[in-house]
Structure 1
Amino acid sequence: MKKIFLAFGIATTIFIGCKHVENKENVSDETMETTDNNVVDSHNSENSLDWAGVYEGTTPCADCEGIKTVLELRDDKTYTLSQTYLGKMEGENEFVQTGNFVWDESGSKVLLKSESDTLQYKVGENQLWMLDSSGNMVEGDLAEFYILKKTLQ
């Protein structure tokens, strides 16, 4: 008789344990579906990256050796952009621009506004991609030269 109760107790425990695991899996699946349908990923470059800092690179130039570009983005949404035209006479080769920048709607690009122009950069992990006048990535053989690397935090 003891063996029957022992066997019955073990069978009951296994049955209840398996049923409990099955219910738990169903709840997890339902929870995941609900979560997947209701979660909006609000992560973007503006709120997820440590974007403030100094970025440097040498961009192509049509009539010089290159343009040494240094861009500092500050937490207060101001910037300083220094561009030095390499191979040109000193005094006529360096241009500095300061102002405010804004983030685009997606939070992935900064727009440097000046009196005469708006420059756009896509913000990535420790680098900026200079964009064309339409806000698109530069493509082709020289694309890698339109990337500024972060130098200071």
Structure 2
Amino acid sequence: MTLNRIGLDTDKTKDIAKDLNGLLANFQTYYQNLRGIHWNIRGKNFFDLHVKFEELYTDANAKVDALAERILTLGETPLHTFEAYLQSAKVPVGKNISKDEEAVQLIVDSISELLKIERQILDKAGDANDEGTSAMMSDLITEQEKTVWMMNAWLGKSI
């Protein structure tokens, strides 16, 4: 087993970084969805949702940066083209969404997909003793589960 400069198995970290790149691509799609619904939201909930969507896309942008930096920390190169994002993303793409319930449902569906990816990465990071990635995934999961609960509450649905 070969260790990298932060003491982790290089083969395992390459695999984790590949998965983190997939998560990065999905976060970029999620971020762009949030920008689109922020710009295009209409109706009686405009003022509340416009502000909330800005809060979410600002947060997603910070998470994109943190993911890219974690990939670099593991010794790999983060994806950085729209072409690469589109090839890797599983998050649904929202186009011309202006209705409040449809926009909020897109957020729930997107985060649900992100959570699946994050849980897979968390498992791999645990197996690799990669505490940095594990902590990052744990924090993302905790925060996003709460967001899904809140969005579902807004929709009048239970988890």
When the two structures are superposed, what TM-score results if normalisation uses the length of structure 2?
0.21
> Which structure has more RCO (C-alpha within 8 Å, separation ≥ 6)?
2
Greater radius of gyration (CA) = 1
Write 1 or 2 for the structure with the bigger share of helix. 2
